[in-house]
């Protein structure tokens, strides 16, 4: 007889003698019968996850069957299930390999194969991401940013002072999203200190629930501070003055906190109309890629239908004639997050570039904000 058994994390640690990268067969005696059970150690994640590109997706599977499916696939690291849909992934959610912002019904739960990344959340240091590799029984620290190098991204730079708290090291204070998740901060705007590098470096930021404000331009004459990749090597204050995220800033930021939604918002100073839009269904890989244009990761202008648009009652028709965001002519990569973000079919602009009148569809000198989550 052949059946399966799952050992969950809350078992006494004494029996967790080693990590099981492969499911192990054990023979046990039950009711005077010898049966072989397949076992593997899974850790229940504190939140259910729904990732962008599942390795396996099968419906009509119980949670136990989902665990079996994961055990049987040598690349499977984590699985999520509601008792019907089974989703297996080759990434570590506990190590923060993807951002996930979906809310789930109570039936959903996720489990992760115990691996070096789950057992030491700070194995990959200074903002790098731990990526377990079950096939090769190893792990890798991805996205290690300068000045750090090395297998664990902890060489060549200054050491982390011993005063940095475990919550920061473990990434619970990494972003507005993690603050919302672990500390349930207000859904309204609050000033928070985040530690995306998971060391002493910090950013003071306005969190709007789980969203982080990275661009803020108003119709004042104050100088606008342009943020690029070099602004993300040290601490930063994003609560004072005006600032504008360039593509390289967003690019480095998403290496640190893996955001998956970008909210663009502009408000007209005269008339009060506000327009905001966000990449749609963020956990779908195709839609997620649409946001990557603004971080300079690809060259494809996002397709309008992949964005959710929230016009106010004035009902501006924004469909650009080619169905794409951004202009037909090319925009410098660094300027993509704010220059000609949308041009409507009436020729009006959503643009906050210095070499054009800043405008929210026609009203010159308006308000502009970008939030990432």
Ligand X SMILES: *[C@@H]1O[C@H](CO)[C@@H](O)[C@H](O)[C@H]1NC(C)=O
Q: Which residues bind ligand X (CB under 6 A)?
A: 22, 24-25, 38, 123, 133, 135-136, 152, 154-155, 165, 167-168, 173, 179, 183, 185, 192, 200, 202, 235
In this complex, which beta carbon is closest to ligand X, that of residue 17 or of residue 59? 17
CB distance 77 to 90 below 8 Å? yes
Distance of closest approach, residue 85 Cβ to ligand X, in angstroms: 26
Question: Prior bond to 147 cis, omega within 30?
Answer: yes
Nearest distance from residue 111's CB to ligand X, in Å?
19
What residue number has its CB nearest to ligand X?
235
Nearer to ligand X, 155 or 334 (CB): 155
Q: Which residues contact 31 (CB under 8 A, 6 or more apart)?
A: none
Question: Which lies closer to ligand X via its Cβ, residue 83 or residue 150?
Answer: 150
Cβ pair 181, 47 in contact under 8 A: yes
DSSP line for 262-328: EEEEEE-TTT--EEEEEESSTTSHHHHHHHTTTTTS--PPPBGGGEEEE--TT------TTSBSS-S
Inter-residue contact 314 to 336 (CB < 8 Å): no
Q: Which is nearer to ligand X, 157 or 362 (CB)?
A: 157
CA 103 → CA 110, 177, 209, 299, 346, distances in Å? 13, 12, 14, 31, 38
Q: Which residues touch 8 (CB under 8 Å, ≥6 apart)?
A: 42, 43, 44, 111
What does the block give as tokens for 285?
A: 């890989």
Tokens found for residue 82: 């509601």
The phi, psi pair for 29, rounded to 5°, reads -100, 120
**Cβ closer to ligand X: 116 or 302?**
116
Q: Which is closer to ligand X, CB of 131 or CB of 278?
A: 131
Question: What proportions of the chain, in percent to the nearest 5, are helix, strand and coil?
Answer: 15, 30, 55
**Cβ 102 to ligand X shortest distance, Å:** 22
At 14, list the tokens. 């004494």
CB 20 within 8 A of CB 54: no
Give min distance, CB of 121 to ligand X, in A.
Answer: 11
* Per-residue CA distances from 372 to 44, 65, 184, 204 (Å): 27, 36, 17, 15
Of 152 and 349, nearer to ligand X (C-beta) is 152
Name the minimum Å distance from CB 153 to ligand X. 8
In angstroms, what is the minimal distance from the CB of 177 to ligand X? 12
Question: Quick one: which of 200, 209, 205 has its CA closest to 227?
Answer: 205
CB of 30 to ligand X, least distance (A): 17
Give the other-Cβ count within 10 Å of 281's Cβ: 13
Q: Which is nearer to ligand X, 16 or 142 (CB)?
A: 142
Which of 195, 264 has the CB closer to ligand X? 195
> Smallest distance from the beta carbon of 98 to ligand X, in angstroms?
18
| Minimal distance, residue 99 CB to ligand X, in Å | 18
């Amino acid at each position: 007889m052949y059946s399966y058994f799952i050992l969950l994390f809350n078992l006494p640690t004494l029996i967790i003698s080693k990590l099981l990268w492969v499911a192990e067969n054990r023979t046990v005696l039950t009711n005077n019968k010898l049966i072989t059970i397949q076992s593997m150690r899974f850790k229940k994640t504190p939140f259910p996850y729904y990732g962008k590109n599942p390795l396996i997706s099968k419906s009509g599977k119980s949670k136990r069957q989902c665990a079996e499916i994961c055990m049987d696939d040598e690349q499977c690291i984590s699985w999520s299930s509601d008792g019907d849909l089974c989703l297996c992934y080759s990434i570590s959610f506990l190590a923060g390999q993807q951002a996930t912002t979906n809310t789930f019904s109570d039936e959903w739960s996720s489990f992760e194969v115990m691996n070096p990344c789950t057992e030491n959340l700070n194995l990959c240091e200074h903002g790098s991401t731990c990526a377990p590799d079950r096939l090769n029984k190893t792990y890798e620290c991805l996205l290690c940013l300068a000045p750090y190098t090395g297998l664990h991204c902890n060489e060549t730079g200054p050491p982390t002072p011993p005063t940095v708290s475990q919550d920061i090291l473990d990434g619970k204070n990494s972003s507005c999203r993690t603050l919302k998740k672990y500390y349930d901060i207000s859904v309204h705007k609050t000033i928070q200190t985040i530690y995306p590098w998971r060391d002493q470096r910090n950013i003071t930021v306005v969190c709007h629930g789980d969203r982080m404000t990275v661009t803020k331009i108003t119709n004042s004459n104050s100088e606008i501070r342009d943020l690029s990749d070099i602004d993300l090597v040290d601490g930063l204050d994003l609560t004072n003055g005006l600032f504008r995220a360039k593509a390289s800033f967003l690019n480095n930021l998403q290496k640190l906190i893996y955001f998956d939604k970008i909210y663009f918002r502009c408000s007209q100073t005269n008339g009060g109309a506000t327009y905001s839009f966000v990449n749609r269904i963020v956990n779908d890989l195709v839609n997620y890629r649409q946001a990557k244009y603004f971080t300079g990761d690809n060259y494809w202008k996002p397709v309008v239908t992949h964005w959710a648009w929230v016009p106010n009652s004035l009902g501006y028709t924004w469909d650009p004639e080619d169905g794409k965001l951004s202009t037909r002519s090319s925009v410098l990569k660094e300027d993509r997050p704010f220059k000609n973000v949308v041009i409507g079919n009436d020729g009006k602009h959503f643009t906050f570039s210095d070499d054009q009148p800043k405008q929210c569809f026609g009203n010159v000198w308006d308000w502009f904000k970008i939030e990432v989550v």
